[in-house]
Structures are given as C-alpha cells and as structure tokens.
Amino acid sequence: MKPILILKTGELPRRVFDNLGPYERAFLNIVGEEPFVVVDAQTDELPASDWAGVIITGSPASTYDNEAWIARSEDFLRRAADRSIPLYGVCFGHQLLAQTFGGTVEKCRHGWELGTVRLTLTNEGKSDPLFSDLPEAFTAHMSHGDVVTALPPGAVSLAHNEHSPYQSFRLGDTIWGTQFHPEFTPTIVSNLIYSLADRLPPESFPRWNACIDPLRGWLLSSVREAPEAQRCLENFVQIVKERQSL
C-alpha cells in the first residue's frame, strides 16, 4: 500500500505537547505507525508523491490568515483532488478543505466550542462510509473558534449540532471534513482546556454563566470519552485501503 500523508498544519499547546509529544502522535496512537508519513505544512516542502490518502490536521491558525504556507497547502490539496486522492480534514483541516474548494470560513458567531459535545448525523451522514457503524447521535471532542459558514459547491453536510450546521461535510466521493477531532482523547481535551481557558476572553463563551461555575470547571465538566468519533479516523483509513485494493 502507498503511504498515507499526515499534513501537519500546527502544534498543540505546550501543556498538551509535554503530555502527548508532537501533535501527530494523537493520530498515530489510534491508527499505528504504518503506512503514515508526516509532513509539516508550515516548514517542509510539500511533496508531489502519489499518496494513498491525505489527513490534514488541526492548527491554531485560521484558514483566512494571509500566510504563504496556507496558499501552498491549498494548491497541494487541489492537485491531490485532481488525482482523486482521498482527503480528510480535521478542524482546521476541515475548514481548509472547505475554503480550498469554494466554501467560506469565518469566526463563529456562537463563540468557541471547547470540550466534548453531542452531534447528530444528517440523512447523508447516516449512509456515509466515514460514519460507518456510528449511531445517529454521538459525542465528539472540539476545540475551535472558526467554523465553515458556507459549504463548497456540491458538498453535503454530514453532521450538525446547535453550534454549526456543518460539523462535517463530504465533497464528491473522496473529500471529507470534520470540525471535531477524532484523534483527541479526554486527557488531550482536558489539557487543552487548562491551556486555553485563561487565554480566551470570557465573551468567547457566550453560553457560560459566570455566576454559576468558573470557566475552566464549566468546560472540564463536559469532557468524556468519545469512541464513536474516533471511529471516523479508522473508517477513513479503511476507505483508503479499500480504494487501494481495487
């Protein structure tokens, strides 16, 4: 099997790094070491090899930042799509795929979504191979302040909640995005909350009632296991393997 590329688009905060190691470890801990190759989109040259598939990670950056590495990544993803290489974007990667192919990414009017949340599959999501064997409603880990506000032409929504109607989408037969993080664990999310709760202004969390709970405690109270969401990462790898066997 040809290698699957993990396109790393950023690093997690120091507290997470000290516990986990480099961000790619979150993915490799789930899917194993082989046949994966990690390339840093910000610092490495993007290779033109014929990958079996590409996974685009999350990032503290915003897709609409005027950064040369983001433009290079978009060009790389367009070329990969032209070759029908399966693409799966997570959080920033989800937003980057949407933006690359004609969608819109903006600051979310509902503020940040941080912790473990509940999602519901759309009718299209219920039959999509990325969500194979998942229930209609499931839990997933989140950490984002931007959202996709318009899908690319031809894309369909696969999952939603009250925070966003586009928590996942598919474009064609080979491009998927999930706003949630299938690679995260409760430990990673808890360490993210410890890292971010004091940095983000209170208005980032309009649903938080400051009179009831401290912000950090309120966010930590949401954290729980999310095994169904993790399955999306495993399902994508299976999709890639099946395509390679054809």
For residue 158, the domain's CATH number is 3.40.50.880
Say what the pLDDT of residue 201 is: 66
Q: Rounded to whole angstroms, how far apart are CA atoms 155 and 125?
A: 12
Residues 147-155, mean pLDDT to the nearest whole number? 98
Task: Answer for the pair 55, 80: CB distance below 8 angstroms, yes or no.
Answer: no
Residues linked to residue 143 through DSSP beta bridges, in sequence order: 114
pLDDT in tens, 84-131: 999 999 999 999 999 999 999 999 888 889 999 999 999 999 999 999
Residues 28-54, mean pLDDT to the nearest whole number? 92
User: In the predicted model, what is the mean pLDDT of the chain?
Assistant: 93
Say what the pLDDT of residue 203 is: 65
pLDDT at 138 over 90: yes
Asked about 183 being catalytic, the answer comes back as: yes
Residue with tokens 């941080």: 114
The single residue of 94, 141, 163, 181 carrying the catalytic annotation is 181
The single residue of 91, 108, 141, 163 carrying the catalytic annotation is 91
Residue 140's pLDDT band (boundaries 50, 70, 90)?
A: very high
Residue 6's pLDDT band (boundaries 50, 70, 90)?
A: very high
pTM of the model: 0.95
Q: Rounded to whole angstroms, how far apart are CA atoms 244 and 246?
A: 6
pLDDT at 26 over 80: yes
pLDDT in tens, 77-91: 999 999 999 999 999
The single residue of 113, 163, 183, 232 carrying the catalytic annotation is 183
Say what the pLDDT of residue 205 is: 75
Asked about 181 being catalytic, the answer comes back as: yes
Provide the residue range defining the domain that includes 95.
4-245
pLDDT at 1 over 90: no
Residues 50-76, mean pLDDT to the nearest whole number? 96
pLDDT in tens, 174-210: 999 999 999 999 999 999 999 988 877 666 676 666 5
Residues linked to residue 107 through DSSP beta bridges, in sequence order: 146
State percent of the chain over pLDDT 70.
95
State percent of the chain over pLDDT 90.
82
Number of domains the chain contains: 1
Residue 225's pLDDT band (boundaries 50, 70, 90)?
A: very high
Amino acid symbol at 112: W
Residues linked to residue 8 through DSSP beta bridges, in sequence order: 40
Give which of 88, 84, 189 is closest to 142, Cα–Cα: 189
